[in-house]
Every structure is written in C-alpha cells, then in structure tokens.
A = this chain, B = another copy of it.
Amino acid sequence: MLQKVAFQGERGAYSEAAAVEYFGPNIEPVPCESFEDIFERVTSGQVESGIIPVENSLAGSIHRNYDLLLRYNLSIVGEVQLRIAHQLMVLPGVKAEQIKRICSHPQGLAQCEGSITRHFPHVERVSAYDTAGSAKMLREEAMTNAAAIASRRAAEIYKMDIIHPDFEDNPENYTRFLIISREAIEPEGEAKTSIVYAMDNAPGALFKSMAVFALRDIDLTKIESRPLQGKRWQYFFYLDFIGSQHQSHCHNALNNLQETTSYLRVLGSYPRNV
C-alpha cells in the first residue's frame, strides 16, 4: 500500500511535485480542493500525511496555512523546498504562432509577465483557479489556440509539450512546504522546531520572548505574526528555530518562554531541510 499524501490543487500542482521531492515517487497523491480539506483528511485518518506551502521567496507567507496549523491539532514532521520553475506548455503539435491566450493561476501569470510580453506581445492572459488546472483544461477542451503555465509534472500528467522551459522572470522563486501528520516525531540529526505563541500586550514583550533563544545561542530562522481574532492589534507569533524540543537547551528555552507567554504550542520538531 502506497502512503497517501494530501495536497491542494489538481494533479500536477507544485504541491504534488514537492511531495514527490520529499517522499520519492512511490506515494499516492490525494488532490484536495482547499487547504482546510488537507487538514481534515489528515485529522480523520483518510491520509497519512499532508503537504502545505507556507512561504514563497517572492510572494511571502501563505497566512491561511499558519491559521490552520493553529486551528487543527496536527504536528509538523518535515519540510521541503521546491524551486518553482514555470513551463509554458501546449497540446502536442500546436505552434507558437497559434497561441492567442495564455492560461494560469494569476500568480503564475504575474511571475512570467516579462517573458509573456517579450515572446507573445499580443496574447490574452486568462486567469484560472490553478496552474495545473489550466493545463488540465487545455487537455480536456482540446484547446489548440492556447498555452498554459504550469509545472513540469503537469506537462507529464496531461501529456503537453513544453515550448518554453523555465519561463519565469525571476529564477530565485522557491516555495517552502511543511509535511503534517497526526503523530509528532523525534527527529535525529540537525532539526528545526516550529512554535506559536501569544503574549499580553506589554512593552518589550516580543523582545523578552526572543531573548530566551538569544541567551542560549539558539538561531531563529523565521518569525511571522498573525492577528489574534477579537483582540485588536494583538498577535500570534509563529517562530522557527534550529534545534529539537527534545534537546535540553531548546527544552529549557521553551520552559523559559512559557513564563512570558499567555499561550504556547509546539507545532513540531523535524529534520532541517531548508
């Protein structure tokens, strides 16, 4: 039985490519309509794991998934980074001069805007709900006057020809994904830990919360704030640090942090990969 991994989007989505990068090819990718759907399926045991994008190096954090990590009681068990290389693809046999429209997710279109203008100055841009979904649409509707911007994996799945590989304007386009599961793990080797906490709104509170790590030479790799619903201009802080909660210096830092926070939850310790 192959391990089932839930991801958001159609078959061929960048999330699916990231799942294969992390788990290898022997998985059963389970497409989900929404990020919430992934959390539901992992919680209910329909799938072993889920994969969620949390940050893109150009666009920033995907806040929805931070909110869902807080709402559901799952653990982060891994991370993986994928380079987002956009491929311009058409149905086999279609020539560049036949292309009247280019379909993709608005972000896919935006990230290829320079290439589109250079190669196809008069083309119509069509927004789709999904990058892979736009390739699927071209295949299902046999559209010979259109191209899609999607992943290499989408080109394979929907049997499309790539006519412009790596069509994106900026090659420094990476997305970081987290693997979520019902059971926490105890990582071996170099680890990372993700936590979320809230504090009473006192002057210097954030500084004090960061001091518990600085005092122990624990390196922070990410900090993110999200509004605390119902409490105006107060925040949850999401923080990643190097180390595992099972190591004594990190364990002590978390105990110390508990003294200065009104809420604290460890989302998981997992092998460092980014």
Which A residues have a C-beta under 8 Å from some C-beta of B? Answer: 55-60, 63, 170, 172, 174, 176, 203-204, 206-207, 210-211, 213-214, 217, 219-227, 229-233, 274
Contacts and interface: CB of A to CB of B under 8 A. Distances in A.
Given A57-B227, A174-B232, 20 more contacts: A56-B227, A57-B233, A58-B227, A59-B227, A60-B63, A60-B226, A170-B229, A170-B230, A172-B229, A172-B230, A172-B231, A176-B233, A203-B217, A203-B219, A206-B223, A207-B211, A207-B220, A221-B233, A224-B225, A233-B274
A107 to B, nearest CB: 13
A62 B238 CA distance: 18
21 contacts: A55-B227, A57-B227, A57-B232, A58-B227, A59-B227, A60-B226, A172-B230, A172-B232, A176-B233, A203-B219, A204-B214, A204-B219, A206-B220, A206-B223, A207-B207, A207-B210, A207-B214, A210-B210, A221-B233, A222-B233, A223-B225
